Amino acid sequence: MKTRTLVTLFLSTVIALPAFAQQANSGSGTQPAASASQTTPASPGVTASGGAPLETTRGDFWDGEEPGFGALVLHPFASKGYVQRQTAPIRDRVNELEQISASHSNTSKEIDARTQQGVQLASKKTDEAGQHALEASSKSQMAQQAASAVNTRLPRAETVVGNIDQYKAGAQTVLHFRPGQTVLSKDAKQALDEMATALKDQRGYVIEVHSFSSGHGQAAIAASRRMADSVVRYLVLNHEFPAYRIYAVPMGNAPVAGAVGTGAKHTSGSRVEISVLKNGVDQLASTSSSGASTSPK
């Protein structure tokens, strides 16, 4: 009878223990305040996320080397709320770390994008600099070629320019007049036409008109001036010679140098001597044109 009673009490105790553990865990809602008073900060300062470091809870049933029998019996019956309260700080900190990781990933992508843009811009600037260098090199070569051509033509041009005021006698035409005649004859006009045709499109020349008349003193000078004026007028009006190219010198009855040893003698008869004097302008023009045809473009 006593044995049956002891067995019954043991079974009742075993059945009552889970209920008692459930009630103890349900009443643990008041434990956070007590446990909060028993917690101490793990480390000073703040974490990388800017929040306070996690705190460790003292008095857990696992503290110590030999947990109590009551803790071992009651711990398996921990409620869901208890587990959530214990894991909530850890979840918050994990979320903060995920946000920080995402922010760092976005920042890294932006830095990579900016770096690529900088590299592309630097490459573009390098290509442009290379093109400018090639253009500068090409222009430098052209300038050197032009300088070489100028150096080749310069001595010749200096020679021509130095002799630009040195006129050389060319073709000469003589017109004869009867005594007292100042008007051009048909033969005289024909001779002037031939001379004008030969000088067409030429440059660097002047025409000297020396007129001589028989007679004495001022009368001979006036007659020779009228003959020279008739020649100049014909060349200007009929052949459009520039007046600045013609120099008329009435000589009158001036003595003319004769052969050696014979001395000078006065003019016999009336005549006009027309001389064409040329310098090196045509030669300079041909030099410039040949140089321009061989110069680089």
CATH number of the domain encompassing residue 194: 3.30.1330.60
Task: Tell me: do 160 and 285 sit in the same domain.
Answer: yes
State the average pLDDT over residues 159-183: 77
Residue of 205 and 155 predicted with greater confidence? 205
| Mode of pairing for the β-strands spanning 246-252 and 205-212 | parallel
Residue range 47-75, pLDDT digits in tens: 655 666 656 555 454 444 455 555 555 55
Task: Tell me: do 191 and 234 sit in the same domain.
Answer: yes
Q: Which residues of 151-186 are buried (b: 16+ CB within 10 A; e: fewer)?
A: eebeeebeebeeeeeebeeeeebebebeeebbebee
Rounded alpha-carbon distances, angstroms, from residue 169 to 65, 172, 195, 238, 269:
137, 8, 14, 24, 24
Q: Which residues of 241-261 are buried (b: 16+ CB within 10 A; e: fewer)?
A: beeeebebebbbbbeeeeeee
- Is residue 34 included in any domain, yes or no? no
How far apart CA 273 and CA 257 sit, in angstroms, is 14
- Is residue 144 included in any domain, yes or no? yes
State the average pLDDT over residues 232-257: 88
pTM for this structure? 0.42
Most confident of 43-47, 145-149, 266-270, 289-293: 145-149
Rounded alpha-carbon distances, angstroms, from residue 3 to 8, 63, 102, 127, 286:
9, 39, 69, 104, 149
* pLDDT band, very low/low/confident/very high, at 229 (cuts 50, 70, 90): very high
**Backbone φ, ψ for residue 174 (5° rounding):** -120, 125
- Is residue 141 included in any domain, yes or no? yes
Could you tell me if 214 and 270 are in contact, meaning their C-beta atoms sit under 8 angstroms apart? yes
How far apart CA 99 and CA 50 sit, in angstroms, is 12
Average pLDDT, the chain: 74
Give the pLDDT score at 54: 57
Rounded alpha-carbon distances, angstroms, from residue 60 to 66, 72, 83, 270:
12, 11, 13, 153
Domain total in the chain: 3
Task: Tell me: do 56 and 68 sit in the same domain.
Answer: yes
- 295: tokens are 């110069």
> Which helix (H) or strand (E) is 174 found in, with range?
strand 168-177
Among 57, 83, 99, identify where a domain stops: 99
- Is residue 35 included in any domain, yes or no? no
- Is residue 73 included in any domain, yes or no? yes
Give the pLDDT score at 153: 72
Task: Tell me: do 154 and 297 sit in the same domain.
Answer: yes
Range of the domain at 9: 2-28+45-99
Task: Tell me: do 188 and 267 sit in the same domain.
Answer: yes
Task: Tell me: do 260 and 176 sit in the same domain.
Answer: yes
Residue of 228 and 50 predicted with greater confidence? 228
Among 99, 117, 143, identify where a domain stops: 99
Task: Tell me: do 218 and 252 sit in the same domain.
Answer: yes
* pLDDT band, very low/low/confident/very high, at 151 (cuts 50, 70, 90): confident
Task: Tell me: do 225 and 250 sit in the same domain.
Answer: yes
- Is residue 237 included in any domain, yes or no? yes
Give the pLDDT score at 36: 40
Residue range 280-296, pLDDT digits in tens: 666 555 555 555 554 44
Task: Tell me: do 9 and 77 sit in the same domain.
Answer: yes
List the single range of 25-29, 67-71, 225-229, 287-291 with lowest mean pLDDT: 25-29
Task: Tell me: do 210 and 253 sit in the same domain.
Answer: yes
| Cα four-point dihedral sign 34, 40, 45, 51 | negative
Task: Tell me: do 16 and 158 sit in the same domain.
Answer: no
Task: Tell me: do 173 and 240 sit in the same domain.
Answer: yes
- Is residue 156 included in any domain, yes or no? yes
- Is residue 33 included in any domain, yes or no? no
* pLDDT band, very low/low/confident/very high, at 90 (cuts 50, 70, 90): confident
